[in-house]
Amino acid sequence: LPTEFEYTDGMTVAEIAKRIKREPAEIVKKLFMMGVMATQNQSLDGETIELLMVDYGIEAKQKVEVDNADIERFFVEDGYLNEDELVERPPVVTIMGHV
Contact of 6 with 24, CB cutoff 8 Å: no
**How confident is the model at residue 1, as a pLDDT?**
75
Is the pTM of the predicted complex or chain greater than 0.75?
no
Among the listed residues 56, 51, 49, the one whose alpha carbon sits nearest the alpha carbon of residue 21: 56
**How confident is the model at residue 2, as a pLDDT?**
83
Among the listed residues 73, 72, 26, the one whose alpha carbon sits nearest the alpha carbon of residue 52: 26
**How confident is the model at residue 78, as a pLDDT?**
65
Q: What is the average per-residue pLDDT within 81-90?
A: 77
DSSP letter at 49?
H
Q: Is the per-residue pLDDT at 98 higher than 70?
A: yes
Hey, is 42 helix, strand or coil?
coil
**pLDDT, tens digit, 9 for 90 and up, residues 38-81:** 999 999 999 999 999 999 999 999 987 766 666 767 676 666 66
